[in-house]
Amino acid sequence: MTAEHLREMEKEIIGEIWTSDEPWRNLVYLCDDLGHRFAGTQREHKAAEYLRARMLDYGLENVRLEAFPMASWERGPCRLTLTSPLERPLPAVAMPYCPSAVLEAEVIDVGEGELPDFERLADQIPGKVVLTDAETNRPGERKSHRTDKFNWAIERGAIACLFINQNPGQLHITGSLSGRGPQSSLAADREAAIPGIGLSYETGHALRRLAQRGPIRIRIETQNRTFDAVSYNVVGEIPGAEHPDEIILVGGHYDGHDISQGAGDDGAGTVVGLEVGRVLARLKGKLRRTVRVICFGAEELGLLGAWHHAALHARPGSGERFRFVLNLDGAGRGAGGQEQLTLSGLPELVPYFTGLARVLKYEFAVRDELHSHSDHFPFAVRGIPNATLNSRDSTAGMIGRGWGHTEADTLDKVSLRGLQMAAVLAARLVLWLSEDETFPGRQRSLEEVRQQLADAGILERVQQAGRFPPA
């Protein structure tokens, strides 16, 4: 294989992407026709059927739905009322896995809700409702995840948790809550121990100002249902000609939150992954290794599709070897041109990818940061080289998840050009990862991974969830 030959293949796939609006049309169907694709619902299942049909259209092979049992959730009414010092209704949404509840209690504001905040206020938390920012990280910054704060609140005796959206605009924040029995996929275990409620920035800050004047009380009345259901990964392949058992896995998650269209999180990444499959299928028979396109189900409820796929395929004795996993959670958002590749605990691969950016003559940011909150992680804990490609949404001043996890994660925030730019980069990366014999990535041992998780301060949480060592 000459560099010349690789160049010809690149030109073909790049030309194909830039002269097609296929990813946009797919995203319109997922967002406008189906709307939300909450895991375990009819709409998610319809999306799975649609994605499967597209893979067949594009000529992918071994196209299949990979079913797995999981707990889904259905929201009912959620009424939040300020009862003291004033009486007034407040707009609010229950968050996935929130149990039904009727309760009234005093509110304790823990501010950003980092661990030191919870430690400082520990003796004031029992029996109260915790008020906290949801997630406050700016781009490139890592702050605690919503579920960490939720667990810290429960451990200190809180009876409910109110999460404040980090961005203004009267938008409620959502996101799944951690369950009573994280090791189980049964509805009875996945339901959260206490209610978790999402507030807008404006409602949250109004409560915060009142709390500075003196004690405030709120009442929560909410009815929701956690139930046993099924979700699917959608999988298709372009078999490798020389090393069919060596796999480059690429794709995003097609499920989303029920209060939005899930356009940027992660409809965009899903259709970018499909586009990679569509154009690489044109090279069938010429690729050395197998490219497996996956649309993960149920990411938003705990990476459930990715855990399932990793457990089935990325284990000793499966006969498959994962050379690289390219997660597309957040790829294709915004206007394009601000793509970022985040390796997860693989600093030694940063020079390879920054060098590749020069070879490709396309600028993208490369960094390394071990984190556990997207579909790369079930592969990372198995020591598999992996990265997440995402596109910065250029909306100025947004922090945390931006429009993500709010009602405003809608199709109008995504553009065909943003999808095309991410697809070009993702397809070229996958092509190189399939063909380049000098790729220096290697599988880490479980002992190395254990040390990395410990160094990152997340080993204990991963163990509590029954995810390490991986089953």
> Which residues of the chain form contacts with Zn ion (CB under 5 A)?
265-266, 329
**Closer of 331 and 425 to Zn ion (Cβ):** 331
Shortest separation between residue 95's beta carbon and Zn ion, angstroms: 15
Closer residue to Zn ion (CB): 58 or 296:
296
114 or 255: whose CB is closer to Zn ion?
Answer: 255
CB of 113 or CB of 262, closer to Zn ion:
262
Task: Decide whether 356 or 370 has the Cβ nearer to Zn ion.
Answer: 370
Residue closer to Zn ion (CB basis): 148 or 329? 329
Minimum distance of Zn ion from residue 220's CB (angstroms): 27
CB of 253 to Zn ion, least distance (A): 6
Residue (135 or 265) nearer to Zn ion, CB: 265
Which is nearer to Zn ion, 109 or 266 (by Cβ)?
266
In the complex, the smallest distance separating the C-beta of residue 11 from Zn ion, rounded to whole angstroms, is 32
Does residue 384 contact residue 358 with C-beta atoms inside 8 Å? no
To the nearest whole angstrom, how small is the minimum distance from the Cβ of residue 358 to Zn ion?
Answer: 30
Nearest distance from C-beta of residue 266 to Zn ion, angstroms = 4
Tokens of 294: 């996956």
Nearest distance, CB of residue 298 and Zn ion, angstroms: 11
* Least distance between Zn ion and beta carbon 224 (Å): 22
Angle (nearest 5°) at CA 249 between 246 and 250: 150
- 8 Å CB contact between 295 and 253: yes
The residue assigned the tokens 């889904």 is 72
